[in-house]
Structure 1
Amino acid sequence: MSNKSLVALVVGVILAVVLWNSFYIVSETERAVLLRFGRIVDSDVQPGLHMKIPYVNSVRKFDARLMTLDSPTSRFLTLEKKALMVDAYAKWRVDNAERYYTATSGMKQIADERLSRRLEAALRDQFGKRTLHEAVSGQRDELMAQVAESLNQDAQRELGIEVVDVRVKAIDLPREVNRSVFERMSSEREREAREHRAKGKELAEGIRADADRQSRVILAEAFREAEELRGEGDARAAAIYAEAYERDPEFYAFHRSLQAYRESFADKQDVLVLDPESEFFRFLEESK
């Protein structure tokens, strides 16, 4: 190979390397800053294909997707100086690429470490303003919202990070106080159960007494109506009997006597001891 060909090949390789290092790509899931000898010249490089001056400019890219900071379980004191073991996490993403690079050198580990300290301080402040009941259940949502707001303001100002959400995964009591708190809660629940049972018995007695009273009233009303209906029926029956008697007294007497004979001699073992001249046998004597 001649010297000219060798020089042309070397120049071609150098040009290829220069051209290769003159282009860079920023994806949609990234944030980037352009540096010139270590100083930022473009603090917000948009996604796409870009050019740079090789060996003069350099590019630092950061993941712009949502990140999770899982804070270690920490011990906090409530307003009554009661200890709680709190496990929480935060969701964050890069908001200001220049500030993020300046504060953390673009390293997620440094960002997590600094954000974790701020998260712990915010949680300690919010738990210290609330009682045990408020922190555990009464104001838990409000507590997380205030921690997220406070942490987001500090993180954006100092780290260029936007804190999207903060959640408390678990709130537990320290092991040394678990048993005493459990026993106190158990006795409190037993006391409440006794109160509820007493109120229930009192209410049941009232309902039962009212039901008995209503039952007696209903039975009395039913008996009164039955007696009235029975009296009306007896009166109508007596009126019918009287009317029938007035129409044919002799036939009515005969019919009543037949009924008396039928009832008296219903059983073959029945025995009557009467005077043969008694009025009871009047129609039997007349039939001979």
Structure 2
Amino acid sequence: MNRIGFIATSIIVLLVLASSTMFVVDQRQFGVVYALGQIREVIAEPGLHFKLPPPFQNVSYIDRRLLTLDSSDTESMLTAEKQRVVIDWYVRWRIVNPSEYIRNVGLDEAAGANQLNRVVRNAFQEEINRRTVRDLISLKRDDLMTSVKREVLERVKGAKPWGVDVVDVRITRVDYVEAITESVYRRMEAERKRVANELRSTGAAEGEKIRADADRQREVAIANAYRDAQKIKGEGDAEAARVYAEAFGRDPQFAQFYRSLESYKASIGKKGDVLVVDPASSEFFRVFRNGAGGAGAQAPAPAAAARR
């Protein structure tokens, strides 16, 4: 029984010892083998690999993928015309030589990101100091990013290379500091209000001009219509007078009778009027008394009317 236990224990110890000598390198990583704290080997090929068990050898991993570093500093920078601006940028970089990276930068990606952040910020500061705000928002922006990338590469590949490669440097935002931004917005708002007020004033003036012209045309149209109406009315009155004169000239008795009827119409044709006359002796109703024979008599004088 003791022999079986000894064999089982030995097998377990051997399995543990064997597992401590094997490790797997992922295709997205570098495997770095350390021997007593010194880099013994860098493994770039993915798959199963072997090493001595701890503490003789240890293994650590470093990311070999393309990494992105975003700016986290909101401190302003001075342009050539002494304007304070805030920029946002990002850097695409990767570790290409783990041995140099570990010796000169650090043991993980965070150490490289921290140092790279300082280098990129200093490069941007130097380049922005030489350029104006107009250059930062124009086509010269590409020249700025190219210059920053060149300076960063010179720094990371200098006397003590970092073992990294900077693939791209980009600016995502350029803006004034908050105090200047508020001032710019206020000036823009004032300018827009000035333009709006100018447009309103111009529109009001044009409106008054159009209304005045319309009123003038209306008065002219009314005057012309009144003139034409009076002309037509005059022509009609003249024609009517001619027709009356012709008719009266042919039959004077009819003319006398017609004038009598007009006199009656003018005297008793109003609502509320009262006539006080004597039909037997008054000349006013002689036409009615005489009948047709009295049509040739003189036209009666209008009777006196008493209004109630």
Q: What TM-score, normalized to structure 2?
A: 0.58
Q: Which position in structure 2 is the counterpart of 1:88?
A: 88
CA RMSD of aligned residues (A): 4.9
- Match of 1:121, as an amino acid? N
Larger Rg: 2
2:210 is the alignment partner of 1:211: yes
Checking the alignment, whether the CA contact within 8 Å between 1:100 and 1:161 is kept in structure 2 is no
Offset at residue 10 of structure 1 (A)? 3.2
Checking the alignment, whether the CA contact within 8 Å between 1:69 and 1:112 is kept in structure 2 is no
Determine the C-alpha separation between the residues in 2 that align with 1:100 and 1:210: 79
Determine the C-alpha separation between the residues in 1 that align with 2:85 and 2:203: 44
Checking the alignment, whether the CA contact within 8 Å between 1:89 and 1:166 is kept in structure 2 is yes
Q: Which position in structure 2 is the counterpart of 1:54?
A: 51
**For 2:51, what is the secondary structure of its paired residue?**
coil
Determine the C-alpha separation between the residues in 1 that align with 2:103 and 2:231: 108
Offset at residue 153 of structure 1 (A)? 5.4
Offset at residue 125 of structure 1 (A)? 3.4
Measured against aligned partners, the alpha-carbon deviations of 1:102-150 in whole angstroms (never above 9, x if no partner) come to 6534423321222212221233234324445x48xx818974x666555
Measured against aligned partners, the alpha-carbon deviations of 1:5-33 in whole angstroms (never above 9, x if no partner) come to 84785366335532453231527xx4324
Measured against aligned partners, the alpha-carbon deviations of 1:142-196 in whole angstroms (never above 9, x if no partner) come to 74x66655555566773334457543486426xxxx59x978986x679857964
1:8-157 paired onto structure 2 within 5 Å: 9-10=9-10, 13-19=13-19, 21-26=21-26, 30-33=28-31, 35=33, 38=39, 41-43=42-44, 45-46=45-46, 50-55=47-52, 58-62=59-63, 64=65, 67-82=68-83, 84=84, 86=86, 88=88, 90=90, 92=92, 94=94, 96=96, 98=98, 104-131=105-132, 134=134, 139=137, 143=141, 149-152=146-149
Give structure 1 stretches of 5+ with no counterpart. none
Identity %: 15
Checking the alignment, whether the CA contact within 8 Å between 2:24 and 2:48 is kept in structure 1 is yes
Q: Which position in structure 1 is the counterpart of 2:302?
A: none
Offset at residue 206 of structure 1 (A)? 3.9
Measured against aligned partners, the alpha-carbon deviations of 1:258-279 in whole angstroms (never above 9, x if no partner) come to 455434431545889xxx87xx
Determine the C-alpha separation between the residues in 2 that align with 1:114 and 1:206: 65
Determine the C-alpha separation between the residues in 2 that align with 1:210 and 1:225: 22
Determine the C-alpha separation between the residues in 1 that align with 2:184 and 2:15: 80
Determine the C-alpha separation between the residues in 2 that align with 1:88 and 1:151: 14
- Match of 2:30, as an amino acid? A
**For 2:61, what is the secondary structure of its paired residue?**
strand
Offset at residue 96 of structure 1 (A)? 3.6
**Equivalent residue for 2:165, pick from 147, 160, 167:** 160
Q: Residue 7 and residue 198 in structure 1: after superposition, are their counterparts in 2 closer, same or farther (change >3 A)? A: closer
Offset at residue 233 of structure 1 (A)? 4.4
